[in-house]
C-alpha cells in the first residue's frame, strides 16, 4: 500500500532501521525487524548508506519487511554521486520486490566535497531524483525536511523555498530530521502552512541513549540540544542506565505532546534498538488505541 494512504487516517506510526555496515551479516537487522514487527507500525523505513551503513542491503531488507512480515516498507534512496543508470537499477529492484514507497534524498556530500555549490552529478538535489522517479516509474514518494534548517541552506527562507520546489516536484509526504524541542517543530509547521506546503509531515523522534552519540549526530545535522535535555545529558552521562531511562522518558514525552497537538505522524529513529522502541510504544499504547478509535 502507498504510505500516503495511511496519512488519510492519521496519526501514522513508523519506525526507522539501518542496514549493517558493508560486509557484516544481516542476522542482527533481521532479528530487529522480527522484534519491531510485534509493534505493528504502519511502516518501517530502511536507510540507504547513512552513517556508513551498507547501500546494497536496503532493497533486500525492505523486501523482508514487506513480503515476510506484511508491514509496509519505505526504502530510502540517495542520489548524490549516483548515475541515472544506478538509480534506474535500484528502482527496478524495488519494483521487482513490490516495494511501493521511496524516501527520495540527496544524501550527504562526502567529506571532501563539502561546499554549498550544487553537486556536479546527474542529481544535484533531491528534487532532481524525485523528478526522475516521477518520469520513469510509479512510486509513492516521501522526502526529508528540517525544522532547524538544513546545514547547507543559505538561510531559513531559502531552505523553505527549496522545500516547496521539492514538494511540488512530486512529494507525497515529509519526514523531519530529529529535533529535541517540540516548539521548533510547531514553528516549522506554521511556516509550512504559510508557504502552502500541504503534504503530511511526520515528526522524526530519536530516543537519546548516549551523550557522545547525540553530540556527534547533532554536530553533523545541525539539530540543537535544548537546555532541558542538556541538563539530562550532563547529569547522567556517566550512568548509562540512568541516561537511557531519562532519554526514553524524554522521547515519550515529546511524542505524547506531538500526538496531543494533532501531528500527522511519528517516525521513531530506532537505532536498531527494538527494546527501546518497545518501551516507548508500550508507554503510549493507550494513547494509540484512543487515537485509532477516533479516526
Ligand atoms: C528523514 C531523513 C532520512 C534520511 N535518510 C538518509 C539515508 O537513508 N541515507 C543518507 O545518506 N542520508 C539520509 N538523510 C540525510 C540527508 O541525506 C541529508 O540531510 C542531506 O544533506 C540532504 O538531503 P535532502 O534530501 O534533504 O536534500 P535536498 O532536499 O536536495 O536539500 C539539500 C540542500 O540543498 C538545498 N537545495 C535544495 N534544492 C535546491 C536548489 N534547487 N537550489 C539551491 N539549493 C537547493 C536545500 O535547501 C538544502 O540546504 C536523511 C535525512 C532525513 C531528515
Number of domain units in the chain: 1
Residue nearest to atom 5 of ligand 1 (CA): 47
Reading the chain (295 residues) residue by residue, the pLDDT tens digits are: 999 999 999 899 999 999 999 889 999 999 999 999 999 999 999 999 877 777 889 999 999 999 999 999 999 999 998 999 999 999 999 999 999 999 999 998 776 665 666 666 899 999 999 999 999 999 999 999 999 999 999 999 999 999 999 999 999 999 999 999 999 999 999 999 999 999 999 999 999 999 999 999 999 999 999 999 999 999 999 999 999 999 999 999 999 999 999 999 999 999 999 999 999 999 999 999 999 998 8
Cβ(179) – ligand 1 distance below 6 Å: no
Do 80 and 152 meet the contact criterion of CB atoms below 8 Å apart?
no
Per the DSSP assignment, residues forming a β-bridge with 216 are none
Instruction: Report how far ligand 1's centroid is from the alpha carbon of 56 (Å).
Output: 20
- What CA dihedral angle connects 254, 256, 257 and 262, to 10 degrees? 120
- Residue linked to cell 537511557: 244
| Residues with catalytic roles | 16
pLDDT score, position 51: 73
| CB-ligand 1 contact for 47 (6 Å cutoff) | yes
User: What integer pLDDT is reported at residue 120 of this predicted model?
Assistant: 61
User: What crossing angle do the helices spanning 240-260 and 227-236 adopt, rounded to 10°?
Assistant: 160
Indicate whether residue 125 lines ligand 1 (CB < 6 A): yes
Q: What is the rounded distance in angstroms from the CA atom of residue 69 to the CA atom of residue 48?
A: 20
Angle between helices 27-37 and 58-67 (to 10 degrees): 30
Q: Whose CA is nearest to atom 10 of ligand 1?
A: 50
Instruction: Assess whether the C-beta atom of 106 lies below 6 angstroms from ligand 1.
Output: yes
Residue whose C-alpha is closest to residue 53's, from 64, 61, 41 = 61
Rg (C-alpha) for the chain, rounded Å, is: 18
d(CA 66, CA 187): 35
CA distances from residue 102 to 48, 145, 259, 282 in whole angstroms, order as listed:
11, 15, 25, 28
If you search the block for the grid coordinates 556517566, which residue do you land on? 238
Q: In this predicted structure, what is the pLDDT of residue 55?
A: 84
Whole-number pLDDT of residue 53? 75
CATH number at residue 83: 3.20.20.220
Residue-range definition of the domain harbouring residue 239: 3-294
At 112 the pLDDT is: 63
State which of 19, 75, 106 you would mutate to test the pocket of ligand 1, scoring each by most atoms of that ligand within 8 A of its C-beta.
Answer: 106
The CA distance from 105 to 75, in Å, is: 11
Find the 79 Cα to ligand 1 centroid distance in Å.
10
Amino acid at each position: 500500500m502507498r504510505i500516503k494512504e495511511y496519512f488519510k487516517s492519521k496519526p501514522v506510526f513508523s519506525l526507522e532501521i539501518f542496514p549493517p555496515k558493508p560486509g557484516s551479516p544481516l542476522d542482527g537487522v533481521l532479528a530487529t525487524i522480527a522484534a519491531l514487527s510485534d509493534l505493528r507500525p504502519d511502516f518501517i523505513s530502511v536507510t540507504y548508506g547513512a552513517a556508513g551503513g551498507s547501500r546494497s542491503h536496503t532493497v533486500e531488507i525492505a523486501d523482508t519487511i514487506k513480503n515476510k512480515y506484511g508491514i509496509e516498507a519505505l526504502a530510502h534512496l540517495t542520489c548524490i554521486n549516483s548515475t541515472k543508470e544506478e538509480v534506474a537499477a535500484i528502482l527496478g529492484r524495488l519494483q521487482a520486490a513490490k516495494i511501493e514507497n521511496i524516501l527520495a534524498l540527496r544524501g550527504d556530500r562526502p567529506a571532501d566535497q563539502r561546499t554549498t555549490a550544487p553537486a556536479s552529478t546527474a542529481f544535484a538535489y533531491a528534487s532532481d531524483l524525485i523528478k526522475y522517479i516521477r518520469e520513469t516509474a510509479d512510486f509513492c514518494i516521501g522526502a526529508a525536511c528540517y525544522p532547524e534548517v538544513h546545514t547547507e541552506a543559505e538561510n531559513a527562507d531559502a531552505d523553505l523555498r527549496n522545500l516547496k520546489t521539492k514538494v511540488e516536484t512530486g512529494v507525497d509526504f515529509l519526514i523531519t530530521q530529529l529535533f529535541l524541542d517540540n516548539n521548533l517543530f510547531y514553528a516549522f509547521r506554521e511556516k509550512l502552512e504559510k508557504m502552502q506546503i500541504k503534504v503530511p509531515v511526520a515528526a522524526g523522534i530519536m530516543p537519546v541513549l548516549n551523550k557522545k552519540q547525540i553530540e556527534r549526530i547533532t554536530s553533523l545535522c545541525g539539530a540543537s540540544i535544548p537546555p532541558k535535555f542538556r541538563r539530562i545529558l550532563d547529569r547522567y552521562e556517566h550512568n548509562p542506565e540512568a541516561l537511557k531511562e531519562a532519554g526514553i522518558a524524554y522521547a515519550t514525552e515529546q511524542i505524547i505532546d506531538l500526538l496531543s497537538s494533532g501531528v500527522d505522524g511519528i517516525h521513531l529513529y530506532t537505532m536498531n534498538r527494538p527494546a527501546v522502541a518497545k518501551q516507548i510504544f508500550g508507554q503510549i499504547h493507550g494513547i494509540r488505541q484512543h487515537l485509532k478509535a477516533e479516526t
